[in-house]
Amino acid sequence: MLRALATRFLSMLATLLAVVTGAFFLMRAAPGGPFDLERPLDPAVLENLRRIYRLDEPLWRQYLDYLGSLLRFDFGPSYFWRDISVNELFANAIPVSARLAALAILLALVVGALAGAFAASRARSKTDVAVTAAASVGVTLPNFVVAPALQLVFGLWLRWLPTGGWGDGALKNLILPVATLALPQIAVIARLTRAAMIEALAGPAARTAQAYGLPSRVILGRAFRSALLPLISYLGPASAALLTGSVVVETIFGLPGLGRYFVEAALNRDYTLAMGTVVMVAAVVIAVNALVDVAYAFVDPRIRHG
């Protein structure tokens, strides 16, 4: 067991190193730089800035210095937000993004699993068709379409909720962005749950239980447990989708999260802020995938014993 955990940890570090390396050199290969403005700076000033931020050193040396900083959990200074470090920006941004993602994935799991189970219990009925159709529509609608639509309906027409802003994390400010992030995941989870439960209900175990006269709720409960396996496997990609989707959602709703800073870093060529955001997102996705593997082993004893 310890050997498997150690191997998994080393693979996680290797994956993170590959992401950091690729992002670092791709970002430097793109034309332009953090100090390329519409009105060019004086050459002497530009040279001093490059020297202060150590951009005048060879690229391999910059890369090794950045890896050394990451080992100390230091993401460096921001090139655009002067007199503030990337760590300080993340101290304010990470709680916002983490709260949005946690609420969205919780909402998606509860609503999506219940909808999928309800549809599977009434397979080939009008209810099943309605849930499947709604899920298909939810999968196809992107966040940048859903967010303005919710703002228009609930913010401008009905005036029930604010159209943007953080508001110190007030519930009314969270409803629309959380719903925007959760809706596509609700659709996917509902489809996964429905398909897995229908397959389980058609299997020999369910038919044997019916032959022994077990109550329907017991049979449905066992089928729902079988549906947990694909749901747990989907948590890894879902976390990645929520984190990348938050880039659009946080920008549309004006939320001070990682997504908003990532967009600003890309527009302003803020190397350290963009790299820090990539590292944080990659680390979260890798960690969640590792937790999913552990949870999968606990749900399915065959994997744990193997």
Q: Are 292 and 235 in contact (CB under 8 A)?
A: yes
pLDDT of residue 300: 60
Q: How many domains does the chain have?
A: 2
pLDDT of residue 177: 92
pLDDT of residue 18: 92
Give the position of tokens 């389980």: 200
- Sign of CA pseudo-dihedral 159, 161, 163, 168: positive
Q: Are residues 66 and 98 in the same domain?
A: no
| Per-position DSSP letters for 218-265, written without gaps between them | HHHHHHHHHHHHHHHHHHHHHHHHHHHHHHHHHHHHT--SHHHHHHHH
- pTM of the prediction? 0.78
Question: CATH number of the domain that 215 lies in?
Answer: 1.10.3720.10
Q: Are residues 218 and 151 in the same domain?
A: yes
Low-confidence stretches of the chain (pLDDT < 70) are: 1-2, 4-5, 33, 35-42, 46, 210, 212, 240-241, 243-245, 295-306
Q: Are residues 266 and 124 in the same domain?
A: yes
Has residue 85 been placed in a domain? no
Q: Are residues 120 and 266 in the same domain?
A: yes
User: Of 142, 95, 139, 91, whose CA–CA distance to 248 is shortest?
Assistant: 142
Q: Are residues 295 and 246 in the same domain?
A: yes
pLDDT of residue 188: 87
**261 bridge partner residues:** none
Q: Are residues 198 and 115 in the same domain?
A: yes
At 35-80, the pLDDT tens digits run 666 566 667 776 777 777 777 788 888 899 989 988 888 888 888 7
Q: Are residues 225 and 276 in the same domain?
A: yes
pLDDT of residue 36: 66
User: Of 56, 211, 58, 215, whose CA–CA distance to 121 is shortest?
Assistant: 215
The one-letter amino acid at 263: V
Q: Are residues 49 and 103 in the same domain?
A: no
pLDDT of residue 21: 92
Which residue range is the domain that position 170 belongs to?
93-305
